[in-house]
Structure 1
């Protein structure tokens, strides 16, 4: 028996517990203390079924906070979870991408099964850590836990993610050894792994050897052929699926529709797929609808794309993006309504308060590029800033192009500096922007900055820089770019080869152009056009026309540029009948609309033939009667044939069309003086001063070694050695002895030494550049000179005789054409 407590102690304890009855005996206070709280009771754990439901809810909603609260509750209540609850909790951490907590839980689990390892493998795969996922699989294999099909599927998915074909083949062998290859689930994982590794033969092997196939297997096979770039085979697989009774889902149809976007001639295939989509009832599916819309839009079926768009209920951002991209792609000068429709759709997205993506802005900026409207572009730019997408490289490149076309190169540079510049296409955009704005030196400087950052260029930026070299006329820089392209293997690309043809064409080296053309592995229509243009520029008219006939024999469809090259060749060769025949063929046989450049070639041909009235009538009946380019061609013909009256009328019209062009004023000024209208000539000079139009400074330049020597009119800072003048006098004496003094002004100035030198610098810079080249370059090297104004008549005559008496080839490029002087004749036929 337990000992009894004393009676007094019992009474004391009882008194402490009972409330007092006499308030006078208590210490009175206005706020008596609250009664003491009962001792806290220990929390009880929840039932296992409740934990299971809550954990499943956490995994479905990806709620990491709720999952951690449940885990904390288990610890506080001393709950001993089973392996099933442990696996569920591990799955929550993995699906919520908290791999650190998942690993801590995994390390503390007393027992692990295949589901435990599968959860961790799947978690690392979802995070993109394929190497860690495969490492977990290896540890699971070493732990001798019996792995199931989900273990191998997770490991195969990690191999597909990393492109590790070798480990994927090892896993394939392990699957076969363990007898799991008969299951469709594993077959689908094998097809996906081999497909993402680019092994289409192994994909077909796994599919054909499988004992069990399901809809996912067929869809995986179809996606494999789509991914590898064989849309024709994918279409056959789709027919095979239909005949085998396999149900087609939105994933399969969306993939094949996307693949058919790359078809050039597949109108029947597209219509067949569209009918298949409607019969299955997926024409209202957003994924399939957007893929079908994109397929039609990218292949010129704008009307079909609009019908598909109108049939989709509640289109999302992806559908709107596909429609805007289709309108932007087709919104050229001939279809301005499509461009306006793209902007209208963008406004509709804003009205619906849709969350715009970077693809939305990229497509709508492409539509704005056709408007050349700074207001529209800046409004789109403001929306980009509001959506926080100004640092996206695709959008940055589109903004650079937009401001470049608006001639706002400073804004383009500002957008370039705000872009991360992680990819080369951003650099390509800014280099192209400077080239389009005729700032070629800055374009080359940016390319040097690009290389200084140890970046690897692609064929597009190399081609852009090569175009800058061609416009500058710097053969040395172009040859260096060619050497770099050869060393880096970029010379095999067609786009680079075309740029190299262009560079050598503008440099006046027809031989190098032909060699480059012959070394291109795969010609496109631009390659053919550039070579025809090169032949025409250098006077090889018959070769140019033979090359065009070869295009027709190969059944290659020429475009507008091809016909421009042919008409240019006919213009340089004076072949009027052939030119009109090609002009008519362009309209009737190929359904191409001539632009102002085609018209200018026809006017140039009529002017060369002396048919000035026909040329003027041709202009007035065309749709380009207010374009200055076509009137300049007629003005050159009037000057050549001495039709001063018509030339004055054309010059006055040009002053109205382009009131700030100095060439129009100077041509009109000279013609007024030729007909004796001095007052009108002075009035023309007065208009130039009133309108702030300055005469363009004449410049001639020649490349000698690695230096470009520029001779500028009115600039005495460039000093020429007296030995060069002595050589010029010696050559001029031989030319005068050959041709006699036929009234050329340059011989008159030769009698006064100082005035003669000043006149040569100011008015005959091309002659000085040619003599400078003859003095410094070997006899076997062709003299190549560039000039920003038309060559004068005196220099043209002297250079013809100079090429004969000195036995040198001289190539002179002015804004109108090439002049190839050889053996006393010029390739222009004395018409420029």
Structure 2
């Protein structure tokens, strides 16, 4: 803490004046350091006019930085109001508002310098930045006590503070008492209304404002967009006298969030210029809405026109790759990151691990993970989740132990990944053990996601009665996911009674769940109850629910090929079906007996059922892979539905017959088929 003494009237020497003059010409960090050293060496730094100037330069982000500024401030023996104002403002601008508040408290404890009209706005802005509502109210009281309540700039800062903290009533009361409502205070109030969703009040204020700037228009556009009234936002946007880059970005963002993708892309193409925010809005907007191909298109176009992506752009692009499982595209982005010096010690490392895990290359995910020198919790969590989904639960448990030894504590998401891995590998003992130790050893209260993992574990292993009892004893109301896990387990293990019980609860919780009707219908079909199948399908018709058709994707030479059951639209159709026939003959010679119970259509003849199984979408994709993928490289297939029992058995055999690795990602997990076995060990 600084010990202040009354200022002495010290006339600056000629040398001091010279140094002040030189400091005014300083424009580079190197020159600042040299001049700072000179002031210390010549003992002119102690003069407040010199030290204040050095501090101001140190706080300038173009020349100095926050750490340098604080070190300079700490060496000023008798700070004045200007130096206090400078360091507090610097703290806020560097998102160290907590430190700014501490400094302000230190200032108040001194007896010489009092906070002035320059200090109050900065510390009030700091309180708004971290939503320190109680501290802000205390400062408001001090403002009134010290006579700064009439200062327009201070009062505008208070209006902004209350708005940003959601205290719209206090903000409105202050705003209405302002003698002169300038553009700054009006914009603060406008932003406050939008923040709490009072768009009508924002519109009224906007209409009353004597002047508006680009911020005023943009805030209103953003407000209408956030409440789903994108047509009003577009109307405001079209009326703008001159559009800033921020307003373009706000309008495009609003359209993207409302699903108006064509309109958003149209505006994007009309823009006179774009910045990184624009590109990020487009890439992230498409990715968040599941339009992965479009997100990657925009990302590639960005690179073509010479724009440089930032971390946020690359994270969205990697997420789009994860969603579509386009491994080669992911490798290309990774290569771009390496060439351009992107560091993996933060969120990019996590995104890259997730991308490789979700695209079927757990080996590459592990390589990235091990290459990160300073591993954070997010990196450990990403690889633990990835290993679990790939059926490598033993490795996942090993890394979990290693993570704890390294001093990194797991969070709730880490435990979800660990329990999910146990579920995918059928590790009942280990899964139950970690669930029971969550609170005691890790201080984590089990949430519904953790209960869901344990239910899934029991259901996959066929312990359906135990799973039902566990659900009934849960301390919270089971959600759709938990009931669907029980229903899926019943379908897989042929327990119609508990399956009907689970389906009833799904329909009670979310009656429009398509998967519930499909699983129920398939469960009845598998047990030959065709009358009940008809009843379920009639229910689906009445409610307008349609079953999602099964399809499989395979990537080859930068293109993605899609197959549906019985598909004959591919240019290589004849070769593909010839390969399917060859596969069937080889399967027969290896004594494979088709599991025709997996035919969930009312087909009578066994040969017809076998023919239907032979043209499942993943079989066609595998045939295409055998024809086109270079020998020695894995065949990677992405399927939107669960792999059926017969296709699972067939793919195990095909991996042995053709001596190849086949990696299939269905809607539950990854299956690595190699040498006649699968990584899931038949737990899927």
Q: Which moved more, 1:350-359 or 1:686-695?
A: 350-359
Q: 1:646 deviation in Å?
A: 1.8
Query: In the aligned structure 2, how far is the partner of 1:531 from the partner of 1:597?
Result: 19
Whether contact under 8 Å (1:324, 1:360) holds in the other structure is: no
Residue equivalent to 1:103: none
Partner residue, 1:288: 119
CA gap 1:614/1:415 in 2 versus in 1, 3 angstroms: farther
Q: Deviations 1:759-796 (Å, cap 9, x if unpaired)?
A: 533xx211221232123223311111110111111001
Q: 1:187 to 1:357 in 2, by over 3 A?
A: farther
Please, which of 438, 442, 450 is the counterpart of residue 294 of structure 2? 442
Q: Give the alignment's TM-score, normalised by structure 1.
A: 0.65
Deviations 1:530-576 (A, max 9, x none): 22222222222233233334443444455554343333323323344
Work out which of the residue numbers 637, 643, 656 in structure 1 matches 2:489.
637
- Residue of structure 2 in register with 1:258 after alignment: 92
Larger Rg belongs to: 1
Separation in 2 of the partners of 1:585 and 1:237?
Answer: 50
Could you list the runs of 5+ residues in structure 1 that have no partner in the other structure? 1-179, 329-338
Q: Distance in 2 between matches of 1:591 and 1:384?
A: 50
The aligned residue for residue 182 of structure 2 is none
Of 526, 529, 535 in structure 2, the residue corresponding to residue 683 of structure 1 is: 535
SS of the residue 1:261 aligns to:
coil
User: Does the 8 Å contact 2:292/2:321 carry over to 1?
Assistant: yes
Distance change (3 Å), C-alpha of 1:812 and 1:402? same
Aligned to 1:460: 312
Give deviations 1:605-635, integer Å, cap 9, x for gaps. Answer: 2323444455445556668747433332222
1:111 aligned partner: none
- Is the aligned partner of 1:202 residue 2:34? yes
Distance 2:81 2:396 in 1: 57
Match in the other structure for 1:654: 506
TM-score with structure 2 setting the length: 0.78
Once the two structures are superposed, what CA deviation does each residue of 1:10-54 show, in whole Å capped at 9, x if it has no partner? xxxxxxxxxxxxxxxxxxxxxxxxxxxxxxxxxxxxxxxxxxxxx
Deviation at 1:400, TM superposition (A): 4.2
Residues 436 and 624 of structure 1, relative CA distance in 2, 3 Å threshold:
farther
Structure 2 residue 174 is the aligned partner of structure 1 residue 343: no
Output aligned runs, 1:48-447, within 5 Å: 182-188=14-20, 190-191=22-23, 194=26, 196-197=28-29, 201-213=33-45, 214-226=47-59, 227=61, 231-232=66-67, 234-241=69-76, 243-244=77-78, 246=80, 249=83, 251-258=85-92, 261-262=95-96, 269=99, 272-279=102-109, 285=116, 287-296=118-127, 298=129, 301=132, 303-305=134-136, 307-308=138-139, 312=143, 313=149, 315-321=154-160, 324-325=163-164, 342-343=195-196, 373-375=227-229, 391-410=243-262, 412-413=264-265, 416=268, 420-447=272-299
Q: Which residue of 1 aligns with 2:638?
A: 786
1:825–1:518 CA distance, 2 compared to 1 (3 A): same
**2:287–2:320: 8 Å Cα contact kept in structure 1?**
yes
Paired residue for 1:666? 518
For the 8 Å contact 1:654–1:664, the answer to whether it is kept is yes
RMSD: 4.4
1:563-616: CA deviations, max 9, x gaps?
433333233233445545655776677776766544432321232344445544
Q: Deviations over 1:110-149 (max 9, x none)?
A: xxxxxxxxxxxxxxxxxxxxxxxxxxxxxxxxxxxxxxxx
Q: Aligned pair in 2 of structure 1 residues 373, 790: CA closer, same or farther (>3 Å)?
A: farther
Q: Is the 8 A contact 2:584 2:614 kept in 1?
A: no
Q: Distance in 1 between matches of 2:586 and 2:381?
A: 42
Per-residue CA deviation, residues 291-324 of structure 1 (Å, 9 max, x unaligned), is 3344455557454345546765465555544555
SS, match of residue 255 in structure 1 = helix
| 8 A Cα contact 1:431 1:443, kept in partner | yes
* SS at 1:696 equivalent: coil
Q: CA offset at residue 644 of structure 1?
A: 1.6
Matched residue count: 632
CA distance in 2, matches of 1:584, 1:225: 54
Distance 1:284 1:319, change over 3 A: farther
Equivalent pair of 2:214/2:247 in contact (CA under 8 Å): yes
Q: Which residue of 2 aligns with 1:129?
A: none
Distance in 1, Cα, partners of 2:301 & 2:488: 43
Shift of 1:713: 2.7
Residues in 2 aligned to 1:189 and 1:599: alpha-carbon distance in whole angstroms: 70
Deviation at 1:431, TM superposition (A): 1.2
User: Residues 616 and 400 of structure 1: is their aligned pair in 2 closer, same or farther, counting only changes over 3 Å?
Assistant: farther
Describe the shift of the 1:454–1:257 C-alpha distance in structure 2 as closer, same or farther (beyond 3 A). Answer: closer
Structure 1 distance, partners of 2:453, 2:358, is 19
Query: Against the structure 1 CA distance between its residues 379 and 615, is the aligned structure 2 distance closer, same or farther, given a 3 Å change threshold?
Result: farther
Kindly indicate whether structure 1 or structure 2 has the higher relative contact order, using CA contacts under 8 Å at least 6 residues apart: 2
**2: CA distance, partners of 1:618 / 1:357:** 60
Q: Which segment is superposed worse, 411-420 or 711-720?
A: 411-420
Give the distance between the partners of 2:193 and 2:407, measured in 1 at CA: 36
Contact 2:124 2:161 survives alignment (8 Å): yes
Superposition map of 1:705-744 within 5 A: 705-713=557-565, 715-718=567-570, 720-741=572-593, 743-744=595-596
Q: Structure 1, residues 505-550: CA drift from partner, whole Å, max 9, x if none?
A: 1221112222223344654443332222222222222332333344
Match of 1:772 in 2: 624
CA–CA separation in structure 1 for the residues paired with 2:437 and 2:72: 42
Alignment equivalent of 2:548, drawn from 696, 701, 711: 696
Q: Is the 8 A contact 1:324 1:364 kept in 2?
A: no
